[in-house]
Protein backbone atom coordinates (compact mmCIF):
# COMPACT_ATOMS: atom_id res chain seq x y z
CA UNK A 1 0.00 0.00 0.00
CA UNK A 2 1.37 3.42 -0.95
CA UNK A 3 0.21 6.46 1.03
CA UNK A 4 -2.99 4.70 2.03
CA UNK A 5 -3.85 3.67 -1.54
CA UNK A 6 -4.28 0.01 -2.41
CA UNK A 7 -2.73 -0.57 -5.87
CA UNK A 8 -5.21 -3.34 -6.72
CA UNK A 9 -8.18 -1.12 -5.90
CA UNK A 10 -6.70 1.73 -7.95
CA UNK A 11 -6.19 -0.62 -10.91
CA UNK A 12 -9.76 -1.96 -10.62
CA UNK A 13 -11.11 1.58 -10.53
CA UNK A 14 -9.01 2.63 -13.54
CA UNK A 15 -10.20 -0.38 -15.56
CA UNK A 16 -13.80 0.29 -14.59
CA UNK A 17 -13.45 3.93 -15.63
CA UNK A 18 -11.85 2.82 -18.95
CA UNK A 19 -14.81 0.52 -19.63
CA UNK A 20 -17.20 3.41 -18.93
CA UNK A 21 -15.32 5.69 -21.31
CA UNK A 22 -15.31 3.02 -24.05
CA UNK A 23 -19.08 2.62 -23.68
CA UNK A 24 -19.50 6.41 -23.83
CA UNK A 25 -17.43 6.51 -27.03
CA UNK A 26 -19.60 3.78 -28.60
CA UNK A 27 -22.70 5.76 -27.64
CA UNK A 28 -21.25 8.92 -29.23
CA UNK A 29 -20.12 6.99 -32.29
CA UNK A 30 -23.64 5.68 -32.90
CA UNK A 31 -24.94 9.24 -32.90
CA UNK A 32 -22.15 10.96 -34.82
CA UNK A 33 -23.32 12.45 -38.11
CA UNK A 34 -19.94 13.44 -39.51
CA UNK A 35 -17.87 10.75 -41.24
CA UNK A 36 -14.76 12.55 -39.97
CA UNK A 37 -15.94 12.34 -36.36
CA UNK A 38 -16.82 8.65 -36.79
CA UNK A 39 -13.38 7.97 -38.25
CA UNK A 40 -11.62 9.86 -35.46
CA UNK A 41 -13.54 8.05 -32.68
CA UNK A 42 -12.84 4.67 -34.30
CA UNK A 43 -9.13 5.56 -34.60
CA UNK A 44 -9.03 6.56 -30.94
CA UNK A 45 -10.75 3.37 -29.84
CA UNK A 46 -8.45 1.29 -32.02
CA UNK A 47 -5.48 2.99 -30.38
CA UNK A 48 -6.50 1.54 -27.01
CA UNK A 49 -7.30 -1.94 -28.33
CA UNK A 50 -10.99 -1.58 -29.23
CA UNK A 51 -11.45 -2.74 -32.82
CA UNK A 52 -14.40 -2.20 -35.14
CA UNK A 53 -15.95 -5.38 -36.57
CA UNK A 54 -17.27 -5.25 -40.13
CA UNK A 55 -17.61 -8.87 -41.27
CA UNK A 56 -18.77 -8.17 -44.85
CA UNK A 57 -17.92 -11.21 -46.99
CA UNK A 58 -17.39 -13.52 -43.99
CA UNK A 59 -19.55 -16.53 -43.24
CA UNK A 60 -22.31 -15.59 -40.79
CA UNK A 61 -21.47 -16.77 -37.26
CA UNK A 62 -24.38 -16.49 -34.79
CA UNK A 63 -21.89 -16.53 -31.91
CA UNK A 64 -20.21 -13.38 -33.28
CA UNK A 65 -22.86 -11.67 -35.42
CA UNK A 66 -26.48 -10.64 -35.06
CA UNK A 67 -28.69 -11.16 -38.11
CA UNK A 68 -30.65 -8.05 -38.98
CA UNK A 69 -32.16 -9.51 -42.12
CA UNK A 70 -31.53 -11.48 -45.26
CA UNK A 71 -31.17 -10.68 -48.93
CA UNK A 72 -31.96 -13.26 -51.63
CA UNK A 73 -29.26 -14.54 -53.95
CA UNK A 74 -29.19 -16.95 -56.89
CA UNK A 75 -25.60 -17.91 -56.03
CA UNK A 76 -25.76 -20.89 -53.65
CA UNK A 77 -22.10 -20.39 -52.71
CA UNK A 78 -23.08 -17.06 -51.11
CA UNK A 79 -25.73 -18.66 -48.85
CA UNK A 80 -24.93 -17.68 -45.26
CA UNK A 81 -22.34 -15.05 -46.19
CA UNK A 82 -22.57 -11.56 -44.67
CA UNK A 83 -23.77 -9.23 -47.41
CA UNK A 84 -23.54 -6.00 -45.43
CA UNK A 85 -22.83 -4.69 -41.95
CA UNK A 86 -25.80 -2.62 -40.79
CA UNK A 87 -24.38 -1.67 -37.37
CA UNK A 88 -20.65 -1.94 -36.70
CA UNK A 89 -19.64 -4.24 -33.87
CA UNK A 90 -16.70 -3.79 -31.50
CA UNK A 91 -14.26 -6.01 -29.63
CA UNK A 92 -11.91 -4.97 -26.83
CA UNK A 93 -8.70 -6.95 -27.29
CA UNK A 94 -10.72 -9.89 -28.60
CA UNK A 95 -13.56 -9.63 -26.04
CA UNK A 96 -16.81 -8.94 -27.88
CA UNK A 97 -18.37 -5.70 -26.65
CA UNK A 98 -21.11 -5.48 -29.24
CA UNK A 99 -21.92 -7.91 -32.02
CA UNK A 100 -22.26 -6.37 -35.47
CA UNK A 101 -25.78 -6.41 -36.90
CA UNK A 102 -25.58 -7.80 -40.42
CA UNK A 103 -27.60 -8.66 -43.50
CA UNK A 104 -26.99 -12.22 -44.67
CA UNK A 105 -27.31 -13.71 -48.16
CA UNK A 106 -29.99 -16.41 -48.38
CA UNK A 107 -30.02 -18.67 -51.45
CA UNK A 108 -33.35 -18.87 -53.24
CA UNK A 109 -34.88 -22.30 -53.48
CA UNK A 110 -35.24 -23.47 -57.12
CATH, domain range 50-110: 2.30.22.10
**Residue ranges of domains in the chain:** 1-48, 50-110
What distance, in Å, lies between the first and last C-alpha atoms of the chain? Answer: 71
pLDDT tens-place values along the chain, 110 residues long: 555 578 899 999 999 999 999 999 999 999 999 999 999 999 999 999 999 999 999 999 999 999 999 999 999 999 999 999 999 999 999 999 999 999 999 998 76
Q: Is 12 helix (H, G, I), strand (E, B) or coil?
A: helix
Rg, C-alpha atoms of the chain: 19
Identify the pLDDT of residue 3. 58
Amino acid sequence: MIAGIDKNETLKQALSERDSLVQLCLYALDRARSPGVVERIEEGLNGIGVAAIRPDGDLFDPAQHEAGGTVPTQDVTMDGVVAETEVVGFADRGRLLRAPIVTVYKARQP
